[in-house]
Structure 1
């Protein structure tokens, strides 16, 4: 079976083979047909990438295009000054919550040809409809939030550089522009209308035994009845193995605190029905899940039970993060418009 994979390098043959081994494994790489899709550019060490910039994801390897940037507050517990005891901003008594540092992330449209081959859920915006009689969950497919350092920019002469149902609706081709894809009014209107659900505000990071966990929470909306209000959040989690030994995620253990005063404990096997292996060739895995509270805010934290290839098991900390609601709901978005 041949699979066309849109990766490239300056030394096309050798670079593509090495990248294929990384993302598909040594044996699978023998059956992959490689196709040149463009020319690599030097990543930006300063400044931001513009709307319409074509990118490769440094970790997951997919092709994408930048829709717009976000400024996020990044709370990295690896660089905090560890102190004993419970301190302000510390939800589980382990370490000290660091001050959020502003960092640039990008909302990226993913090439649909690459979606089946990446170890990440390729849906990154979910929210509730604004009609009280509706309990629909809206999902916009093929979106991701990408940190500035994970961007590998490239250029191409192809007018149809990306395959996604929203690509031609959001961006138009102008060969004299740099980058040559510029935002249409549809994209600007869509961004403005759906701002509360698209907005990325906080990012939380922590590393345990060379396993890096990154959490990004999003507010999804509120469901109200005559007797109660239920608030919903989505949280995106990325696990990355920074070491040399393979590690498998076996169990999850969550603690969920609500402003109403309740504390819930959740245990279970794996995540989203999987027990992913993080290896040298496939070091990362990303997934999303949802949580609801009968209060407008709360906190979550927990651990993943990990098992290393040599049999050593340990608990990998999930950094504490806040669940905050937003006041206003916009009209129900339409991903097709």
Structure 2
């Protein structure tokens, strides 16, 4: 087995230290690589490096999601190209994982590390809370490793959720508090659908989550959050300049939203930093709807194009209403 450092994340970490402290940085050993699993699932307690963002993390539990990939053609029985069906996109079951992120790595990754938000019990329908240091990771994005450190991850929930048991593999077993937390917060955490589409070598992945409903005497407001990852699969740098959203509600309304960048940024997707991930929220006065749109991208050679955001459904779930906020233990 190979002794490894932080790989891509180490490089980012070193640059940050050199920029702000003007001191030389050294790579720290993290652990030893394990063979990635081509079949089966990773167990609770599995340590990981994120293949795209490079942070250290640990698997809490798996989710089974339907992945709607518009880049994968659907075939009929014939192998003839003319028989391919591109209009209907069928969901394929895929494993994702709820993971804790090492808080030491949060300042150096291009993803919002408060990825799980939920409605609180205040009167204002815009009152949101966040559980810090959680992410959803696809099976193929996990680089597994082992460590002899009894506390290899810095996160306030690590020791509350997992217990060190050296004779086991992986040696970090779930505690009852993790199972109780998962069961209690299931409606806020559940991942069910993932949508993907690639335009001009820019792949957009969208994961929507239902957050609950706020009911009043006059109306009901339904809330969703959506996580978006942009990844540059090409060799030329690209920068996101504008966003254009279309939001359809079952009530019959169609809203258009335009603006500069996303979450106050115009991220550049380069060969060194090819990915960016963020989360946002949307509300409707109806229990379901759809969203779709485009990102206006500008390539380093001056070429501009619209990158498609795959359409995704906003579906409510029965029995999920605004209650006391989920516990963070």
Shorter-chain TM-score above 0.5: yes
Shift of 1:181: 0.5
2:141 corresponds to 1:150: yes
2:32 corresponds to 1:39: yes
What residue number does 1:246 align with? 237
What residue number does 2:50 align with? 57
Q: Is the 8 A contact 2:67 2:93 kept in 1?
A: yes
Q: Is the 8 A contact 2:96 2:138 kept in 1?
A: yes
Shift of 1:332: 2.5
What residue number does 1:168 align with? 159
What residue number does 1:6 align with? none
Change (3 A) 1:198 1:112: same
Change (3 A) 1:79 1:192: same
Superposed, which structure 2 residues align to 1:67-82 within 5 Å?
67-81=60-74
Superposed, which structure 2 residues align to 1:247-326 within 5 Å?
247-326=238-317
Q: Counterparts of 1:301 and 1:284 in 2: how far apart (Å)?
A: 20
Find the residue that maps to 1:45 and give its secondary structure: coil
User: Number of residues paired by the alignment?
Assistant: 314
Q: Is the 8 A contact 1:251 1:306 kept in 2?
A: yes
What residue number does 1:227 align with? 218
Shift of 1:132: 6.9
- Please point out which of 2, 8, 13 is paired with 1:10: 2
Q: Counterparts of 1:252 and 1:171 in 2: how far apart (Å)?
A: 41
Q: Counterparts of 1:116 and 1:203 in 2: how far apart (Å)?
A: 26
Change (3 A) 1:145 1:174: same
Q: 1:48-76, CA deviations, whole angstroms, 9 ceiling, x for partnerless residues?
A: 00000000000000000000000000000
Find the residue that maps to 2:111 and give its secondary structure: coil
Q: Counterparts of 2:163 and 2:203 in 1: how far apart (Å)?
A: 38
Find the residue that maps to 1:32 and give its secondary structure: coil
Change (3 A) 1:276 1:31: farther
Q: Counterparts of 1:299 and 1:107 in 2: how far apart (Å)?
A: 25
Q: Counterparts of 1:134 and 1:180 in 2: how far apart (Å)?
A: 44
Shift of 1:96: 2.1
Q: Is the 8 A contact 1:51 1:68 kept in 2?
A: yes
Shift of 1:20: 3.9
Change (3 A) 1:271 1:172: same
What residue number does 1:4 align with? none
What residue number does 1:137 align with? 128
What residue number does 1:179 align with? 170
**TM-score of the two chains, using structure 2 as the length reference:** 0.90
Q: 1:117-148, CA deviations, whole angstroms, 9 ceiling, x for partnerless residues?
A: 0000001211113x474643221000000000
Q: Is the 8 A contact 2:8 2:54 kept in 1?
A: no
Change (3 A) 1:310 1:151: same
What residue number does 2:82 align with? none
What residue number does 1:210 align with? 201
Which shows bigger deviation, 24-33 or 200-209?
24-33
Structure 2: 5+ residue stretches without partners: 76-85
> What value does the CA root-mean-square deviation take over the aligned residues?
2.3
Q: Counterparts of 2:16 and 2:186 in 1: how far apart (Å)?
A: 42
Change (3 A) 1:210 1:53: same
Change (3 A) 1:325 1:64: same
Q: Is the 8 A contact 2:6 2:54 kept in 1?
A: no
Q: Counterparts of 2:207 and 2:88 in 1: how far apart (Å)?
A: 16
Q: Counterparts of 1:170 and 1:304 in 2: how far apart (Å)?
A: 39
Structure 1: 5+ residue stretches without partners: 1-8, 83-94
